[in-house]
Chain A
Amino acid sequence: MTYKSVTEILEAIKKKDISATEITKEYLKRIKASDDLNCFITLTEDSALNRAKEIDKDISKNNLKPLSGLPIAQKDIFCTKGVKTSCGSKMLDNFISPYDATVVDKLNEAGTIMLGKTNMDEFAMGSSNETSFYGAVKNPWDYEYVPGGSSGGSASAVAARISPCSTGTDTGGSIRQPASLCGICGLKPTYGRVSRFGMIAFASSLDQAGLFTTDALDAAVLLKEISGHDPKDSTSSTVEVPNYHDYCINSDKKNFTVGIPEEFVNDLNDDVKNSFYESVKILENIGCKIKTINLKHTGLGVSAYQVVAPAECSSNLSRFDGVRYGHRSKKSESLESLYRESRSEGFGKEVKRRILVGTYALSAGYYDAYYLKAQKVRNLIAQDFSQAFEKVDLILGPTTPDKAFKIGEKMNDPIAMYLSDVYTVSTNLAGLPAMSIPMGFKEGMPLGLQIIGNHFDEKDILKLSYLYQKETDWHVQEPGA
């Protein structure tokens, strides 16, 4: 099978060159052959094949939907009706969701076929996919390396070409960082662009659903389908959803003013720096104007993030109490021990660490010093960006300070782990859209280029990525080729 991208697959199905069943079988076969990557927590083979059959029936009646027959992998953070939704945690190892998340619902409506649920850091807390109850996911470029996290399974699967696309969620970089480390495209839309309903909450004011694809056009096609206001999510936006794909293809916009924040490039190692400035040159050749800018509060981003995210998580994860669903300890004898034992057994180390930090940050007497101060920093960071966007259309930088690290390398150093999010967290704090696209390699491992846009300006991020990918071939390189 030679179809490489989402758009190619959709075109082939439309032309009836291949059936939904054939393509689904092909990807299921690939998934099984790459079992050692540990990308999937749950494989939904039977339901995928059944659904493929139905879709083929629809196609034979010329009832074609925008994504008819497209196989997709769902991050196990999205609730899927009748299917285990574990969020990478022992706590939800026995949880079968009674409902579909809005993102899942919309993708189903658009005609996709779910292949399975992908592995992830427990409750999306991690940057390496090593905190999963289901074990670490491997980077297909080198199995000794992490794929990044928290959406490690989704990223690794697309990079390994065992799924043409997948969903992810991004709270501090959980889509862009693994996309960067795996050499694929990872799009985190504007906060509010995509409904959070049915996406298990980590830090509600930062969480945003997004996508992994191999190229920008694919992301454009998928983004249109998952975006839009959801009456079930009060924080979802009513801003109109454009046709991103047509904009990429048809708009003749080229001369973007692109800002490079000094804070993003000052401390880069030579390999990353070289790759980055080669990319900058390509953009200049396309017709972009490059401007040096400042985001002077960027350095405070990780600190603010490490207060806000744990604070919200400490509250969001209170519902996992062993009472109504999820893990219940056999050792529970009293109400208090039911809570204590169930949560002690059900949550892993990193989740416990964040619950404790967050609980502390919200406690009487500490709230002002931590939570409130972090919110103030957050406002300053957002201000930096809005001032920058008065001068530039898009902001550019590396997605991560370095290539992927080895499995086990940073597990005992949480601060070093948190710092791998240094270029990604500030966009979450400001609610901005951003995308990581492949920009080269260091010692055989991929590097990512991050493009940040103004609120709801996903279309220009996608357009610039599309233009860049017309001039480069990083995104078509496959691991093990």
Chain B
Amino acid sequence: MYRNRGLSMWETVIGLEIHVQLATDSKLFSSSSTNFGSEQNTQASIIDLAMPGVLPVLNKKAVDMAIMFGLAVDAKIADKSIFARKNYFYPDLPKGYQISQYELPVVYDGKLEINVEGKSKTVGITRAHLEEDAGKSIHDLFDGESAIDLNRAGTPLIEIVSEPDMRSAKEAVTYLKKIHSIVKSLGISDGNMEEGSFRCDANISLRKPGEDFGIRAEIKNINSFRFVENAINYEIGRQQDILESGGEVNQETRLYDPKKDETRPMRSKEEANDYRYFPDPDLLPVEITEKQISEIKKSLPELPDAKKERFIVEYGLKNDDAEILSSSLDLSEYFEKASSNVSSKFQLLANFILSEVVGLSNKHSLDISKAPVSSEEVAKLVTYVSDEKISIKQAKEVLNESWQNKTDVDEIIKSKNIEQISNIDLLSDEAKKILEKHPKEVQDYKNGKDKLMGFFVGQVMKETQGKANPKALNQILNKLLKGE
């Protein structure tokens, strides 16, 4: 374990390469469907199989999607970009080369602002290029033989390459989440990490501040936000140990094993392929006009930064909360759905979602879009709290129970009889009863033992099975004790 090493003399340098599967109906260079989960090799045409003599034809939708991404990260769009062949042998790469972009990518020189613990910073985006995905090798289906599924072969990807601008696992994950939110907001990817639609390679090195970049290790194909954070933290610790014992980090590719929570070497620099890139003679250069770009610009949906501003203006949210809510499409959708069911108290709703609902989602490793308690139900709870029908503490309990048993919040409130008593007369009666019961404590309080207020509140709560509205009760007790 290489966790929580605390402060060190080392500065971490992280750059990410993110592979995003584009949500086109057909593949990048063939008309085969890109549906996930179909029976093996049913979505592989003669082109995907690299039959002799076949040729690729570019899916223009994929180019439009890449342009959308470029515009969303303030990048330049190349008026002419080139597809190249990346040559290497592997059974799930039917042509013996992957069609990718090398020297002239479609998107370059972009940037993204991220906000970590109240501090904002800009991460440079070197480039984003179009390429085709490989198929899948399956090694556990037949005894002693490997199988190949080419359904995924040729699925369009954009590879988004960042500058080495991140300095901690937190920053890296924040950047990754924001990219995830952008591609989902744009509708250019389903962003499904389990199915591999969104995966990430992390380049990590350490250096003493002010010095040149150290030797980096690349961790390949990490497919969850948590794994990215864990893998980076592990790698930081590992490299720190090597450097502090006077050693040198190997330039190599490593794999992260989430079960063991460690990274392992995959191949060294010496074993690296020479990909022999050259322009693909089967494809013409991709030419993009200003007109095309401006048309796409007009059709862009709302992006996280604009949404954040809107959340601040429209809902009066605090800056940081607006930032977090807008950084994830699922989260912002959950919030906005709930907000349409509460008349005001948006900040209270935001607090409740960010602390309670997100907390439960994290605890159960669930995407918030799959939370068992709907945004409408959460809106109800927040409305009850703001109407002082129930306390915030009770709201949390009801949420928990509803999450566990998938029962409506109204039903839980009713069956547990946990509605809050906010009726002034009723509460006054209860308070008076308690004060009469404890004359000595009343006297002590009046003599300056302020802490006893808690005792009186506790006693009333006990009598009312915790249903007393604490705010109202405090006011009443104050009045009774100080007014006498």
Contacts and interface: CB of A to CB of B under 8 A. Distances in A.
B341 to A, nearest CB: 51
A232 B97 contact: no
Nearest to A308: B281
B55 A362 contact: no
Contacts of B148: 323
A143 interface: no
B318 to A, nearest CB: 52
Contacts of A367: 276, 278
B50 A234 contact: no
Contact of A315 (B56, B58, B97): B97
A314 B85 CA distance: 11
Interface string A325-365: 10000000001000100000000000000000001001110
A85 interface: yes
Interface in B47-67: 49-58
Interface string B438-451: 00000000000000
Interface stretch (A20-28, A95-103, A113-121, A241-249): A95-103
A188 interface: no
A201 interface: yes
Of B46, B49, B55, most A-chain CB atoms within 10 Å: B55
A276 interface: no
Contact of A235 (B52, B95, B277, B284): B284
A198 B54 contact: yes
B96 A201 contact: no
A199 B53 CA distance: 5
Contacts of B50: 319, 324
A323 B91 contact: yes
B89 to A, nearest CB: 6
A318 B98 CA distance: 11
B52 A87 contact: yes
Contact of A319 (B56, B95, B277, B278): B95
A141 B318 CA distance: 92
Given A205-B281, A312-B281, A318-B97, A197 B54 contact: yes
Contacts of A234: 55-58, 282-284
Contact of A321 (B49, B52, B89): B89
A199 B146 CA distance: 31
Given A204-B281, A234-B282, A319 B96 contact: yes
A233 interface: yes
Interface string A200-229: 110111000000000000000000000000
Interface in B63-104: 85, 87, 89, 91, 94-97
B244 interface: no
A95 B49 CA distance: 14
A92 B52 contact: yes
Contacts of A99: 46, 51
Given A362-B278, A367-B278, A319 B55 contact: no
B274 interface: yes
B53 A198 contact: yes
Nearest to A100: B53
B273 to A, nearest CB: 10
Interface in B264-283: 274, 276-278, 281-283
A325 B89 CA distance: 15
Interface in B314-329: none
Contacts of B46: 98-99
Interface of A: 78-79, 85, 87, 92, 95, 97-99, 101, 196-201, 203-205, 231-235, 311-312, 314-315, 317-321, 323-325, 335, 339, 359, 362-364, 367, 371
Interface of B: 46, 49-58, 85, 87, 89, 91, 94-97, 146, 148, 274, 276-278, 281-284
27 contacts: A79-B53, A87-B52, A97-B51, A98-B51, A196-B53, A197-B54, A197-B55, A198-B53, A201-B52, A203-B281, A205-B281, A232-B55, A232-B57, A234-B282, A315-B96, A315-B97, A315-B276, A318-B87, A318-B96, A319-B50, A319-B94, A323-B94, A324-B94, A362-B87, A363-B274, A364-B274, A367-B276
